[in-house]
Structure 1
C-alpha cells in the first residue's frame, strides 16, 4: 500500500496548488520569489492577444481598405510606400493608443476600486476625469492654447486638484470608500456645470472643438502626442507596479498595513496620484473616455476568479475593451457615420453600471417584493 502524498496548498500555503478556484505556481529567481496564479496569467495573456488582434484589424479598416495580412507584412518592414504611410503614420498611433490608454484606464480603475473597496470606486465615477477635462477646457478656451504639453499639464493639474478637493471633503477621521464616491459624484456634477458654462460662452468653433474633445475620440492621436504619452505611460505603470504591495496591504486595512511595515497615509497618497495620472494622460491625449476604468477591473476579477482587482488583469482587460470599442467605432463608421469611441464606451458601460447597481442593491436590501 503506497503512502498518500500530502496535498499541496494554495496561495495561503507553501508551494502551489489551488487557491480561490485557480492553480497557483511558485516562481523563483535570483532577485525574486513569489506565487503566480496560473489562470490569471493565462487569462491576461489571452486578453492581451485579443487587444492586439483588435488593433491589427482596426488598422486594416478605413476609407482605403488594407488586408490584415498586408498590415502584418507592413509592420515587419514590408509593403509599398503608400500603404506603409497609411499604416505606420496614420493608423498605427491610433490603434496603439486604444491599447495603451485602455490599459492605463484599467490600472487606474483597479487602484481606486481597491482603495475604496467598492466596485463603483473608479476615476470616472468619483469625478477625477471631470477634473482633468475641466483643466483641458480652461486651457483651450480661457488660456487659448492647444499644444500637447500645456494641455497635458492642465489635465494632470485638474485631476490632482479634483482629487485633493474630494479627499478633503470626504475626510472624517479617515476616508471611507462610500463617502469618497458620494463626494466625488457631487464634485463631478459641479465640474460638469463649469464645463458647460465655459463651452456655451465660447466662440462656436472653439466650443465645437472642445465639445468633440469631450466625447472622447482617438482619431486626433498622432505620433506627436503618442510618443510622449508612451514614455509617461511607462513611468505610470512602473510606479503602479512598485506600489502594488502597498495596495494589497491597504486592502487588508490600515492596522494590518502598519503591522506589515507599511505607511498607509503615504502609500494612499502615492496611489491616488498614480491613479489620477492614468486618467489625466488619457484625457490630455484623447479626451475623457468613460466606464472603461469602472468595468475593466470587475470583469478581470470575474474571468480570473481572483479575490481582488489585480493590476495586470485589469490592464489587459482595459486594453481589450478599448481596442474592441475602437474597432466597433470603425465598423459603425464604415456602414453609418463616425462615432467617437467615448460614446461607445459610455453606452456599453452604462448598461454594465445599471446591472452593477441592481446587483449591489439586491445584495444589501434583498430582492424587491
Structure 2
C-alpha cells in the first residue's frame, strides 16, 4: 500500500508538472479557476485544450501499457514477454501504417484499425503457439514481430512522402496530437476493461505457482489464461490506438514495480509505474531536449528502454551460465 501510494503521488506530481510547467507556465490558482470555467485570454486554450488533455492521455496510456505488459510478463513467466517485443504492438503498427499509406486514413479510423490489427495478430500468435506453451508463444511472437516490421518497412518504402511522415509519427508513439476526443474514447474503453483486469488479478499470482498447483486450488487454468491474454491484448490495443506504440513502457513497468515490491506482483503498481514513465518521458521530449520542436514521447522511452533490455539480456545470460 505504501509503495502504491508513493507511486500514485509521483504520477500526480508528474501530471501537475506537465500541466503547470513547460514552455507556458500557469499558477495553481489560475489552473483551478480555468478548470471551474473562468476564461483567461491565451492561457485557457493552451492549458485546457492542449496541455491538460495531453497530460491526462499520457496518464491513461501509461496505466494501460503498464498493466497490459505485466499481465503478459507474469502469465508467461518471462520479463521478455512484453507486448512490444512479442508482436502485439507490431500488429497494431502494421495495420495502422497500411491504413494510413494505402487508404489515407486518419484519426479514429487509424485507431480502430490498430485495435483490430492487434487483436487479430494476438489471436494468430496464440493459435500458432498452441496451449500451455509460454516459451513457444514468445518465440512465435518474436518471429511474427519481425515479419510485421518487415511489412512496415516495405510499405514505408513505397509511400508518398506526406503519408510516410504521418505514419512515422504514429509509429514512434506520440502525444502531440492529444485531444479530448481521444481522452474520452480511451477512458470509456478502460472503464470497460478495468473490472476484468481486477477480476483476474488475484488469479494471476496463483498461476505463478504453476498450472498444476493453480488447478489444485480450484482455478480453471486454460480459461483463466485465455481471459488474461484477452484483457492484456485489449489494454495494449486501446493504448496503442490512442497514442501509437510507445516503445518499452509495457516492457519497463512490470520489472520496475516488481523490484519496488520485493518480487510481488501488483497490477496497480505496474500501471502507476507506466503512467510515471510516460508522463516523465513526455515532459523531457517536449521541453528538455534542445531543438525547439516537441519530440514524440516514444523517442525518449525507446532511448530509456533499449539499455534496460540489453542489461536484462546480459544479466539473464550470466545467471544461465552460473547455473
Q: What range is the shorter-chain TM-score in?
A: over 0.9
Query: 2:112 aligned with 1:156, yes or no?
Result: no
Unaligned runs of 5+ in 2: none
Correspondence for 2:58: 98
Distance 1:335 1:62, change over 3 A: farther
Q: Return the structure number with greater helix share.
A: 2
Deviation at 1:348, TM superposition (A): 0.3
Q: 1:119 aligns with which of 79, 93, 100?
A: 79
Q: Return the structure number with greater strand share.
A: 1
Correspondence for 1:19: none
Distance 1:79 1:199, change over 3 A: same
Correspondence for 1:203: 160
Query: 2:66 aligned with 1:109, yes or no?
Result: no
Q: 1:357, 1:76 → 2: CA distance?
A: 50
Query: 2:202 aligned with 1:245, yes or no?
Result: yes
Mapping of residues 276-315 of structure 1, within 5 Å: 276-307=233-264, 309-315=265-271
Deviation at 1:168, TM superposition (A): 2.4
Deviation at 1:82, TM superposition (A): 3.1
Unaligned runs of 5+ in 1: 1-40
Deviation at 1:191, TM superposition (A): 0.2
Distance 1:335 1:135, change over 3 A: closer
Mapping of residues 173-184 of structure 1, within 5 Å: 174-184=131-141
Q: 1:243, 1:230 → 2: CA distance?
A: 20
Q: Look up the SS of the partner of 2:84 in the other structure.
A: helix
Query: 2:304 aligned with 1:348, yes or no?
Result: yes
Deviation at 1:93, TM superposition (A): 0.7
What is the number of residues matched between the two proteins? 323
**Larger Rg: 1 or 2?**
1
Q: 2:220 aligns with which of 263, 280, 305?
A: 263
Q: Look up the SS of the partner of 1:243 in the other structure.
A: helix
Distance 1:269 1:43, change over 3 A: same
Correspondence for 1:128: 88
Q: What TM-score comes out, normalization by structure 2 length?
A: 0.93
Q: Tell me the C-alpha RMSD between the 2 structures.
A: 2.0
Q: 2:18, 2:305 → 1: CA distance?
A: 21
Q: What TM-score comes out, normalization by structure 1 length?
A: 0.82
Q: 1:274 aligns with which of 212, 223, 231?
A: 231
